[in-house]
């Protein structure tokens, strides 16, 4: 199969840079349903623009390209060992070409090994009786992977009470899974649900559901009714895009079931962000050439047009008032104290990236640059070097901030940081530090890696490359970086408010629906 490696490379590039048609249509529908003038409507508009930018530049939609997972079905007699070798070579080349971020981290040493290492990428083979090869690929980032959840029934669920070993207990688990994700999984998202199996096969079944088309119909009547129930009622929780509050919290729900042991009853939920990157190809078993694409390409479905149509949305009961404020770094405490939740902030000047490794390091060490009045951006960018050896930003959306909660308040106090940018919000310890020391949390739009990459005009330096490119501290000259204040220095948190309101709505779904 002389063309197999090239076909896999093309599959990786298409999956990373171009959302398929069914996903685009789901985002379009969300835009049309959301009230205009809201934070969620603004986020959906940014998402639509980012999708178009990624397609046009053939660059990653989101900087977190996840753990590449291949599902392969092939005829008897095809050399699976040779196929795996070619897949690893294609993944390595795609990483060198900045179509994938370096994501394979040694769990013991922390060394980033690109995208190839023990257990990575994931490659699953299955034989079938057809004479061609089918390869499906999903790129599911760490932020939404962390919002996966597995329930063992019976269970007591917050807001919903007892979930038994029956269809109504399954319903409660799925609704709770959507609630617990809030905005940390780059919602509005998609979920795959696996009922039964053991702990490992249950999660595998859940992830396989994400390979189904968004608009397909479940052949099982009970599961189809459950999918329809979840889609209707999850979007009544008011979580909204990015957890900003709104009418659309879920874009798709697919459910599958498998047999289980008498002693075990697992409900496994695999959460995927709006940047639902999955694609597949059929290949000629003799040559390895692509014969067809499994999901209709999004090329030709202009997200620019969708933005124009969807940005108007429907008139809400009340337009969300917001101010637009321009800030240049370094930022003073007085400027920060004037900001409040809901303000749109546009930042110019130097921004520093910092993720888990940097925050842990700074707890016990000095910083090589002055962070007084600075902005820290929770982001692990995709970077590349040009012919002259200069670095450039290829993709740079925000990462989930809650992982730095154990450190963030202390880092703000120690270094005088005035703004933290990320996604999904942070906890009470950080909120208290924002209030005491005069800082704010700014929520950027998760997954919008191209939208934000355009704001970084120059890489002025980098520290801690030993942490790996995503975890290094990049110093970026910035113009026009826009984000929303969701936690201010007055003790207010939009994330806490939305979580409280959505819990009240979740409680209303406590009574049995399936009897």
Which pLDDT value is given to residue 308?
Answer: 46
pLDDT band with cut points at 50, 70 and 90 for residue 113: confident
pLDDT band with cut points at 50, 70 and 90 for residue 321: low
Dig out the tokens for 119 from the structure.
């257990």
Residue 481 and residue 462 in one domain:
yes
Across the chain, mean pLDDT equals 94
Residue 152 and residue 266 in one domain:
yes
Residue 136 and residue 147 in one domain:
no
Q: Give me the long-range contacts of 365-371 (CB less than 8 A, separation at least 24).
A: 367/415, 368/463, 368/473, 369/461, 369/463, 369/473, 369/475, 371/415, 371/416, 371/417
CA 473 to chain centroid, in Å, comes to: 21
Residue 109 and residue 192 in one domain:
no
pLDDT band with cut points at 50, 70 and 90 for residue 310: very low
Number of Cβ atoms within 10 Å of the Cβ of 168: 18
Alpha-carbon span 333 to 92, nearest angstrom: 46
Q: Is residue 281 part of a domain?
A: no
204-262 per-position pLDDT tens digit: 999 999 999 999 999 999 999 999 999 999 999 999 999 999 999 999 999 999 999 99
242-253 per-position pLDDT tens digit: 999 999 999 999
Q: Is residue 382 part of a domain?
A: yes
Beta partners for residue 268, in sequence order: 150, 194
Which among 244, 272, 300 is the end of a domain?
Answer: 272
Give the whole-number percent of the chain exceeding pLDDT 90. 92
Which pLDDT value is given to residue 64?
Answer: 96
Does position 305 have pLDDT exceeding 90, yes or no? no
Which pLDDT value is given to residue 319?
Answer: 52
Residue 183 and residue 51 in one domain:
no
Alpha-carbon span 12 to 20, nearest angstrom: 13
Residue 120 and residue 149 in one domain:
no
Dig out the tokens for 262 from the structure.
């008498």
Residue 217 and residue 363 in one domain:
no
Alpha-carbon span 342 to 251, nearest angstrom: 25
Which pLDDT value is given to residue 29?
Answer: 95
Q: Is residue 152 part of a domain?
A: yes
Alpha-carbon span 298 to 58, nearest angstrom: 13
Lowest mean pLDDT among 79-83, 317-321, 460-464: 317-321
Domain holding 134, by residue range, is 1-140+287-318
Residue 356 and residue 417 in one domain:
yes
Instruction: Using DSSP bridges, classify how beta strands 266-272 and 161-163 pair: parallel, antiparallel or unpaired.
Output: unpaired
Residue 297 and residue 398 in one domain:
no
Q: Is residue 479 part of a domain?
A: yes
Q: Is residue 306 part of a domain?
A: yes
How many domains does the chain divide into?
A: 3
Q: Is residue 507 part of a domain?
A: no
In the 3-class helix/strand/coil scheme, how is 70-106 assigned residue by residue?
Answer: EEEEECCCCCHHHHHHHHHHHHHHHHHCCCCCCCCEC
Alpha-carbon span 57 to 192, nearest angstrom: 30
Half-sphere exposure of 130 (CA within 13 A, CB side): 11
Q: How far, in Å, are 19, 80, 169, 209, 358 from residue 126 at the CA level?
A: 26, 10, 32, 16, 41
Residue 153 and residue 267 in one domain:
yes
Q: Is residue 304 part of a domain?
A: yes
Q: Is residue 503 part of a domain?
A: no
265-279 per-position pLDDT tens digit: 999 999 999 999 999
Residue 420 and residue 473 in one domain:
yes
Which pLDDT value is given to residue 149?
Answer: 98
- Torsion sign over Cα 90, 94, 99, 104: positive
Residue 220 and residue 74 in one domain:
no
Helices 21-33 & 39-57, crossing angle to 10 degrees?
160
pLDDT band with cut points at 50, 70 and 90 for residue 301: confident
Which pLDDT value is given to residue 312?
Answer: 42
Dig out the tokens for 47 from the structure.
């998402």
**For residues 346-350, average pLDDT:** 98
Does position 311 have pLDDT exceeding 50, yes or no? no
Task: Kindly provide the residue ranges of all beta strands, DSSP E only, lying in 113-259, ordered along the sequence.
Answer: 122-127, 132-139, 149-152, 155-157, 161-163, 189-195, 250-257
**For residues 75-102, average pLDDT:** 97
286-296 per-position pLDDT tens digit: 999 999 999 99
Between vectors from CA 485 to CA 371 and to CA 18, what angle results, nearest 5°? Answer: 95
């Amino acid at each position: 199969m002389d063309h197999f490696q090239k076909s896999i490379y093309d599959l990786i590039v298409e999956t990373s840079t171009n959302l398929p048609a069914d996903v685009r249509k789901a985002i379009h529908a969300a835009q049309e349903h959301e009230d205009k003038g809201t934070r969620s409507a603004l986020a959906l508009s940014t998402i639509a623009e980012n999708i178009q930018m990624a397609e046009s530049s053939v660059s990653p939609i989101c900087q977190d390209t996840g753990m590449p997972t291949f599902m392969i079905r092939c005829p008897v007699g095809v050399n699976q060992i040779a196929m795996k070798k070619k897949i690893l070579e294609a993944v390595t080349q795609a990483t060198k070409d900045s179509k994938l971020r370096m994501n394979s981290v040694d769990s013991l040493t922390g060394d980033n090994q690109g995208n190839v290492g023990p257990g990575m990428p994931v490659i699953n083979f299955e034989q079938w009786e057809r004479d061609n090869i089918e390869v499906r690929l999903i790129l599911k980032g760490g932020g939404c992977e962390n919002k996966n959840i597995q329930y063992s029934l019976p269970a007591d669920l917050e807001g919903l009470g007892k979930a038994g070993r029956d269809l109504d207990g399954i319903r409660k688990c799925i609704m709770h899974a959507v609630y617990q994700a809030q905005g940390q999984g780059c919602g509005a998202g998609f979920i795959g649900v696996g009922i039964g199996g053991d702990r490992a096969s249950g999660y595998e079944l859940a992830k396989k559901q994400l390979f189904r088309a968004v608009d397909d119909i479940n052949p099982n009547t009970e599961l189809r009714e459950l999918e329809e129930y979840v889609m209707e009622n999850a979007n009544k929780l008011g979580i909204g895009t990015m957890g900003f509050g709104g009418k659309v919290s879920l874009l798709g729900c697919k459910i599958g079931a498998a047999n289980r042991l008498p002693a075990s009853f697992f409900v496994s939920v695999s959460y995927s962000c709006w940047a639902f990157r999955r694609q597949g190809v059929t290949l000629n078993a003799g040559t390895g050439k692509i014969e067809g694409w499994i999901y209709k390409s999004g090329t030709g479905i202009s997200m620019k047009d969708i933005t124009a149509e969807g940005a108007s949305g429907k008139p809400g009961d009340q337009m969300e008032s917001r101010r637009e404020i321009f800030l240049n770094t370094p930022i003073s405490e007085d400027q920060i104290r004037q900001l409040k939740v809901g303000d749109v902030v546009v930042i110019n000047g130097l921004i520093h990236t910092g993720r888990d490794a940097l925050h842990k390091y700074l707890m016990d060490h000095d910083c090589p640059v002055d962070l007084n009045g600075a902005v820290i951006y929770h982001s692990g960018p995709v970077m590349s070097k040009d012919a002259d050896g200069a670095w450039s930003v290829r993709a740079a959306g925000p990462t989930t901030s809650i992982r730095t909660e154990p450190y963030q308040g202390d880092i703000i106090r120690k270094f005088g940081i005035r703004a933290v940018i990320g996604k999904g919000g942070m906890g009470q310890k950080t909120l208290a530090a924002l209030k005491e020391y005069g800082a704010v949390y700014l929520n950027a739009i998760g997954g919008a890696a191209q939208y934000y990459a355009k704001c970084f005009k120059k890489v002025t330096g980098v520290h801690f490359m030993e942490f790996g490119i995503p975890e290094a501290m990049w110093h970026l000259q910035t113009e026009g970086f826009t984000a929303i204040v969701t936690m201010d220095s007055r003790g207010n948190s939009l994330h806490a408010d939305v979580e409280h309101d959505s819990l009240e709505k979740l409680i209303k779904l406590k009574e049995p629906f399936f009897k």
